[in-house]
């Protein structure tokens, strides 16, 4: 049997029941091509002189890596002329990016984190790119920030790309989760992980333990129970993992289960969390849910949060359903 490439998979989905519009298929294929270019730069690393700081900061005041800037430019250039997006928004830019006047505008709003986990670049640890696709409101020809402020339940597609030992693109548009591995010799993403599912139970968790003293009481209680192992109330031992890249953390959950936690803490009470709702929280919550898992901010389903600004932050608890239900229940109490 011949291998199923990403393009073939998308075309077959479009033909099968008509739920995947042609312009959305084109957008996903354009994103995939852009990720191949980003993958090339990530793989070259020091050989291409792309490691280290860019000497600039993003809208959140965080120092940008050279590859943050390169990945952002690649995604803008690849998508501005294709005719699918009406506008784009990036974690690296303060305001939405409008399609130049000489190019046609489409029906979608494309949001992305160009290089998630970029602090790992210089030490050669996995990083990724996260996307979220929304519909542009009807009748809007020049989308504003307000047009992007849609809850995660309105997403129509969500791919992420993991640049690791193998480069993978993982995709959902509302009918399950499917993983594609880049065949570098042929330059094609090939379906290798159909119908990915998150195991309901797990013995793994991921959290930055150095922040424990700043966490809210429900998170401290939950993690202390995990650390107690077989002698504690959970009655089993847990392993802890921490990659500092949400793409890598979520991909591990999709393949073997677990829970990833980035809770709010007491250092800045005005911030409800560290990660960005629109670029990380919503898309990753959707892909986890589509694979049978669960994702909350500790108190409610992430995808039901109504965004109030483009770079809003959120606490995240995505993972195996059993664990997410427990830690969310502790917040409720």
pLDDT at 83: 93
Confirm or deny that 80 is annotated as ligand binding.
no
Residues of the chain with CATH 3.30.540.10: 6-193
- pLDDT exceeds cutoff 70 at 195: yes
Confirm or deny that 274 is annotated as ligand binding.
yes
pLDDT at 45: 87
Confirm or deny that 6 is annotated as ligand binding.
no
Residues of the chain with CATH 3.40.190.80: 204-332
Q: Closest Cα to residue 224, out of 147, 326, 318, 105?
A: 326
pLDDT at 160: 98
Model pTM?
A: 0.95
Confidence of residue 60 (pLDDT cuts 50, 70, 90): low
Per-residue pLDDT tens digits for 4-13:
999 999 999 9
Confirm or deny that 208 is annotated as ligand binding.
yes
Q: At the top level of CATH, which class does the domain 204-332 belong to? A: alpha beta
Per-residue pLDDT tens digits for 247-283:
999 999 999 999 999 999 999 888 899 999 999 999 9
DSSP-based three-state secondary structure for 181: strand
Buried b (16+ CB within 10 A) or exposed e, 204-233: bbbbeeeeeeebeebbeebbebbeeeeeee
Confirm or deny that 280 is annotated as ligand binding.
yes
Q: At the top level of CATH, which class does the domain 6-193 belong to? A: alpha beta
Confirm or deny that 201 is annotated as ligand binding.
no
Confirm or deny that 320 is annotated as ligand binding.
no
Confirm or deny that 116 is annotated as ligand binding.
yes
């Amino acid at each position: 049997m011949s291998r199923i490439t990403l393009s073939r998979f998308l075309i077959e989905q479009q033909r099968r029941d008509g739920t995947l519009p042609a312009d959305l298929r084109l957008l996903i294929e354009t994103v995939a091509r852009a990720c191949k270019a980003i993958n090339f730069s990530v793989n070259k690393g020091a050989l291409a002189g792309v490691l280290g700081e860019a000497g600039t900061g993003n809208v959140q005041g965080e120092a940008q890596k050279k590859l943050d800037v390169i990945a952002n430019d690649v995604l803008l250039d690849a998508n501005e002329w294709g005719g699918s997006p009406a506008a784009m928004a990036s974690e690296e830019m303060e305001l939405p990016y409008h399609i130049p006047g000489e190019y046609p505008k489409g029906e979608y709003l494309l949001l992305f984190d160009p290089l998630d986990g970029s602090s790992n670049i210089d030490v050669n640890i996995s990083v990724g790119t996260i996307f979220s696709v929304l519909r542009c409101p009807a009748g809007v020809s020049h989308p504003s920030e307000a047009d992007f402020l849609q809850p995660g339940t309105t997403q129509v597609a969500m791919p992420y790309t993991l640049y690791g030992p193998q480069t993978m693109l993982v995709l959902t548009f509302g009918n399950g989760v499917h993983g594609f591995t880049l065949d570098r010799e042929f330059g094609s993403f090939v379906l290798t992980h159909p119908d990915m599912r998150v195991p309901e139970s797990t013995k793994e968790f991921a959290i930055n333990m150095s922040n424990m003293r700043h966490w809210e009481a429900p998170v401290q209680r939950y993690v202390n129970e995990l650390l107690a192992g077989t002698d504690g109330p959970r009655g089993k031992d847990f392993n802890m993992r921490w990659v500092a890249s949400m793409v890598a953390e979520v991909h591990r959950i999709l393949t073997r289960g677990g829970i990833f936690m980035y809770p709010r803490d007491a250092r800045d009470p005005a911030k409800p969390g560290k990660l960005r709702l629109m670029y990380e929280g919503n898309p990753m919550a959707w892909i986890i849910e589509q694979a049978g898992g669960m994702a909350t901010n500790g108190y409610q389903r992430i995808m039901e949060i109504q965004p109030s600004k483009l770079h809003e932050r959120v606490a995240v608890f995505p993972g195996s359903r059993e664990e997410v239900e427990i830690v969310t229940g502790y917040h409720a109490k």
